[in-house]
Chains A and B, each alone.
Chain A
Amino acid sequence: MNAPNKSGWKPEMTVAEDGLHNGPETTTGNRALMLEEPLIFEIGHTETTGVDLPEIDPEAPSRLGSLTRSEPIGLVGLTEPETVRHYTRLSRQNYGIDLGFFPLGSCTMKHNPRLNEKMARLPGYADIHPLAPQNSVQGALEVIYELGDWLKTLTGMPAVAMSPKAGAHGELCGILAIRAAHEARGDAREVVLVPESAHGTNPATAAFAGYRVEDIPATEEGRVDVAKLKERLGPDVAAVMITNPNTCGLFEKDFREIADAVHEAGGYVYCDGANFNAIVGRVRPGDLGVDAMHINLHKTFSTPHGGGGPGSGPVVFSEALEPFAPLPFVRKHEDGTYELVEEEAREESRGQTFGRMTAFHGQMGMFTRALTYMLSHGADGLKQVAEDAVLNANYILRNLEGSLYAPFADSGPCMHEALFGDKGFENGLTTLDLAKGLIDEGYHPMTVYFPLVVHGAMLIEPTETESKAAIDQFITAIRSVAERAKAGDETLKQAPYYAPRRRLDETAAARKPKLSWQEPEG
C-alpha cells in the first residue's frame, strides 16, 4: 500500500496476544504477498480518469433542456495501472474455487470451465441487442431453444421457461404459474406448504406471490413426514414446495407418493432444483410427478457464481402448467427458423400466460456457458457428474461420522452433500468456531447453520470436480479441527489467525450501518 491517501487512513499491523504473528511490524502494514488496499475514494480523484475521451466543448449545442448536472457527483477515478492494481490486490483477499476446495453445501461450487467463458464472449452472443430484429439473431434464439431442449430432456418435463434470472426468480416463476393455474379454474387457494429444512427463498417466494406459508414437519430420519403432510392437504393448499434431494442431503424416497397425494387434493408440486447436481443425467424429476422445478445453471451447469451472481434459473413445467408459463419464450417453426414470442402473440400462442417477469428473455451469457458445459459432458458425462458428486459426499460422510455428529448417518446413503451437527463440542465452542478454524487450514468452510433442523448444522458438498487426494486432505484437516472443538481448545474461538482479516464485528456493522463512503470531516 504505497498509494497517496487523502483521508490519512493507514492499515495497522498489530501483534496478536497469542504470539502467533510475532514477526516484526512492517511500516506499510503489508505482510509480503498480503497487501493492504485502501478504498478507491481514498486514492482516487474526481479529475483522474483511466479512459481517453474527447475533452468537453463548453460551447457545444445542448438539447438537455434545463437539466444539466452542475453539482459535483463525487465519483473518483484511477488511471488504468492504478485500477488494475487496486482490483488485483482486492482479488487476492478472496477465496475462490480456482484457489481451493469450496464445500459450501447446497451451492454446488464446482470447477468453472474456461471454455464456457471463451464461448460466452464470442461477439455473436456477447454483442447482440435483446431487441435486435429477430432475423439478425437466429443463432442466439437457437441456443436458447437448444438449451431448453437439453433441460427438458434431462428432467423429463415437456415445457421450459428460460427467462428467470436466478434460483429464487425461478421459484417465483413456478409459483406464479401455479397460482395462475388455480385462478384459471376459479380456485382461490391460499396456502403453500414448505418443509422446515427448505431454503429461505422458498417461503419468501411463496409470500412474495401472495400466499400464506405453513411448515411441513420432518421425520427423525431427515425426510418429509408423509403422513403429516397428507393430513394437512386440502382444498386450501395450492402447492407444496419440496427440495429433492433435500437439504439434509437425502433423496425424498416417497416423492412420487407425495406428488400423487398433492395432485389428488388438487394442488401442484413445486420441486426446488437447487440440488439437481446429485441426480443430473441419472434421475428425471418428471418421472416423480413434479409440476414445476427451477434449475440453477450456476450450480449444476457450472456457470460461475461471481461472488454472488449472476445466476440463471430456468423452470421446467409439466403439461398441466405449460399454458401458464411466462412470456417471452422461443419457439421453432417447421421451416427451421426461431421466433421469440412476445406480448403481441400472447393470444394465439399462450393465452393463459401469467405474464412477463423480466425486461428481456433471460441470462443469455449464462445460457451459452451452460450449453457449452452440457455439450462437453454429454449424457454420459452428466451421469458421471452425479455419480462422482454422490460418491465424494458419501466418502466424506463415512470418513467423518466418527469425528463429527452425523444426525442422518443411519438414514441411508447421502446424495451430493453430507450433514453434520455440533453435538459434542466442548467449552462453548460452536460450528462457527470450527468454520473459522477451517479457514486457517486453507479451506472455504462448508455451509453453516443451515438447514435449521439440525443444531449447529454443517452441510458439506464436495462436488465432482475434486480429486480423491484433495478430499483426503480435507478430511484430515476437518477432523483435526473437530478434535480441537471437542477438546474445548480455546484458541479456536479467535480463529481465523491467518486470513486477511480476523473475525469481523457483525453486530457493530448492523447497529450503526455504514453503507456508503463518506468523506472524513475536517
Chain B
Amino acid sequence: MRYLPLTDTDRTEMLAKIGADSIDDLFVDVPEVARLDGPIRDLPMHASEMAVERHMKARAAKNLAAGDAPFFLGAGAYRHHIPASVDHIIQRGEFLTAYTPYQPEIAQGTLQMLFEFQSQVARLYGCAVANASLYDGSTACWEAVAMATRVTRKKRAVLSGALHPHYSEVVRTMAHFTGDVIADSAPAIQPEPDLDGLTARIDEDTACVVVQYPDILGRISDLTPVAEAAHAVGALLVVVNTEPVALGAIKAPGEMGADIVVGEGQSIGVGLQFGGPYLGLFAVRDPNHVRQMPGRLCGETTDAEGKRGFVLTLSTREQHIRREKATSNICTNSGLCALAFSVHMTLLGEKGLRELAAENHRLACLAADRLEKVPGVKLLNNAFFNEFTLMLDGKPAREIVRDLADRGVLGGVSLGRLYPGVEALEHALLVAVTETTTEEDIETLARELEASVKEVAQ
C-alpha cells in the first residue's frame, strides 16, 4: 500500500513493545456487536495510481467543462482567468499541508499571508477590518445577520428581494432555528432595484437590512439611502457582493455606508469547482465591531527579540475558547482559497484589478447590445457590471438553457431554476460575461439563442 510506511516486521516489533498479541487486542474496547470479520463488504479493494486515475478521468470526461464551450453562467460563481503562478504557489507543500496556525513561530508564512489577505479584502470592500475567511458567501451572509442581531440586540432582518435566493434560503433555514425574524420577498422584474420598497420595510425592530450589490439580476444602484434609512432606526446595513471583480469598477460598499460587507471571493483565484470550495469574505466598517465578528482574525505583534510577527488573535470570540458563548461555531475556514485569492490579487494590484473590471464591463456591454438585437429578447437592466437579465418573450428560460446546452453553448442561468414557482421569473435568463468570453462566443450565443427562442415552445 503506497501510502503506508509500516512493514509487517515493524508491526510485529511494535505490537511486542506494546505487549499485544495482535492488532485485534488494540480494538478490544469495540463492543462485540460492532466487530467485523474482515474488510467492509460491497467496496472494491485497493487500486494502483493508474487504475484510480482511469476511474476518475472517465467521470470527468462526462462533464462539459466551461472552457470547452461558449460560457455565460454566473449567479454567484464566475469564470475568470487564473494566472498559472497562483496554482503553483497554493500547491507548495508548506502551504498546502500546513494546519491552522496554532504554533505561530512555525506558521509565519500562513499568518503573514492572512494579514495581507485581510488587508486586501478590507480595502476592496472599503472597510476597516476583514477576517481570515469563512466557508462561502452564503454562510458569510448568515453570519452577518447573526452578528447584526448581537450588535443591535434586535431580532428582525430585512432581506432585499434581489438577494441571491440561495443566500436567502440559507438565512431562512438558520433563522427558523434561532428565532430570528426574516422579512424578504422575490425580486420585482424591473430595470432598477426597488430600494424604496426595501426601506419601507425597515422598522424600529430591525437589526439589519441585507442588500446584494450588484444584485441577483445584475442591477447596481447607490445604496446610500438604504444605509441612511437603516441607521436612522439603529439598524445595520449588510451588503452582499458575489462578484469581487466588480469592485474594481464600482463604488465600495463601505463608501456607501455599509456596516458589514460580506461576499463570495471565488472569482479571484479560486475557480468554479462545481460550487466549492469557495471563499467567504467578511468585513466591518467600524473597528469597534471587531469583537463581535465571527471566524479567525490574524493580527500583528512582535516576538521576544522584538521582530515583527503575526498571530491569530482575539480568540476569546471563538469556539475553542468560548465554547457555547462563541460568536460562531466555525473552526476550519477556507485558508487555501484565501491564499489563492491573495496571490491573484497581488498579481493584479490596483491597476490590474481596474483593468480586469473594465475588460469585463466592456465585453458585457458588447454582449448586452448584441443579445438585445435577437428577436424576442429584451434587456431588463438599466445599469449592470458584467451580468444582466434578458427577458425571453414568454419563452421558458429553463428549457432554453437546456436546449442551448444541447447546442454546445452554456448560455446562462435561468431564473426559473433559482426561483421555482415564481411565474414572473420563468422567462428571465441571467447572462454573465467575463474577460474569458470572446467576441466570437457572444456571436455564437446570439445565433443559437435566436434559433432556440424560435424553436422552443411557449
B21: which A residues are within 8 A, CB to CB? Answer: none
Interface residue B225 (Cβ < 8 Å from any Cβ of A): no
Give the CA-CA distance A146 to B55 in the complex, in Å. Answer: 12
Report the nearest B residue to A56, measured CB to CB: B358
- Return A198 CB to nearest CB of chain B, in Å: 9
A55: which B residues are within 8 A, CB to CB? Answer: 355
CB of B103 within 8 A of CB of A435, answer yes
Which of A37, A355, A444 contacts B112 (CB under 8 A)?
A37
A113: which B residues are within 8 A, CB to CB? Answer: 3
Interface majority SS (helix, strand, loop, mixed), chain A: loop
Which of A136, A210, A358, A387 contacts B177 (CB under 8 A)?
A210
CB of A365 within 8 A of CB of B277, answer yes
A172: which B residues are within 8 A, CB to CB? Answer: 329
**A168-B319, A169-B139 known; A63 vs B384 contact (CB < 8 Å):** yes
CB of A380 within 8 A of CB of B324, answer no
- Return B81 CB to nearest CB of chain A, in Å: 8
CB of A73 within 8 A of CB of B106, answer no
How many chain B residues sit at the interface, stated as a range, is 35 or more
CB of A75 within 8 A of CB of B405, answer no
CB of B346 within 8 A of CB of A510, answer no
CB of B250 within 8 A of CB of A91, answer no
CB of A76 within 8 A of CB of B346, answer yes
Report the nearest B residue to A138, measured CB to CB: B62
B298: which A residues are within 8 A, CB to CB? Answer: 515
CB of A513 within 8 A of CB of B33, answer no
**A95-B107, A125-B274 known; A385 vs B4 contact (CB < 8 Å):** yes
CB of A122 within 8 A of CB of B112, answer no
CB of A48 within 8 A of CB of B46, answer no
A75: which B residues are within 8 A, CB to CB? Answer: 120, 123-124, 345, 348-350, 353
Give the CA-CA distance A55 to B355 in the complex, in Å. Answer: 6
Give the CA-CA distance A206 to B43 in the complex, in Å. Answer: 34
Interface residue B18 (Cβ < 8 Å from any Cβ of A): yes
Name which of B204-212, B231-239, B302-310 contacts chain A.
B302-310
CB of B277 within 8 A of CB of A310, answer yes
Give the CA-CA distance A277 to B119 in the complex, in Å. Answer: 37
Interface residue A131 (Cβ < 8 Å from any Cβ of B): yes
- Return B78 CB to nearest CB of chain A, in Å: 9
Interface residue B29 (Cβ < 8 Å from any Cβ of A): yes
B31: which A residues are within 8 A, CB to CB? Answer: 253, 255-256, 288
Interface residue A486 (Cβ < 8 Å from any Cβ of B): no
- Return B186 CB to nearest CB of chain A, in Å: 13
**A284-B40, A501-B309 known; A77 vs B331 contact (CB < 8 Å):** no
Interface residue A514 (Cβ < 8 Å from any Cβ of B): yes
**A95-B98, A115-B52, A388-B6 known; A127 vs B27 contact (CB < 8 Å):** no
Give the CA-CA distance A73 to B248 in the complex, in Å. Answer: 8
- Return A118 CB to nearest CB of chain B, in Å: 8
Which of A137, A392, A398 contacts B274 (CB under 8 A)?
A137
B396: which A residues are within 8 A, CB to CB? Answer: none
Q: Which of A44, A68, A304, A398 has the most CB of B within 10 A?
A: A304
The proximity string for B residues 237-253 relative to A, scoring 1 for CB distances below 8 Å and 0 otherwise, is: 00000000001111110
Name 15 A/B residue pairs within 8 A (Cβ), A-sorted.
A50-B85, A54-B358, A60-B365, A73-B252, A98-B96, A131-B75, A132-B274, A176-B177, A204-B326, A288-B33, A296-B332, A308-B110, A395-B14, A514-B300, A516-B129
Q: Which 10 A-B pairs have the closest CB atoms?
A: A77-B349, A124-B60, A360-B275, A306-B336, A98-B93, A139-B62, A130-B275, A308-B335, A310-B277, A355-B173
Q: Told that A45-B349, A129-B71, A253-B30 touch, could you supply 17 new A-B pairs with CB distance under 8 A?
A: A16-B305, A77-B348, A124-B62, A132-B64, A133-B405, A179-B177, A251-B30, A282-B30, A282-B36, A308-B99, A308-B101, A382-B39, A384-B1, A391-B15, A500-B106, A508-B302, A513-B290
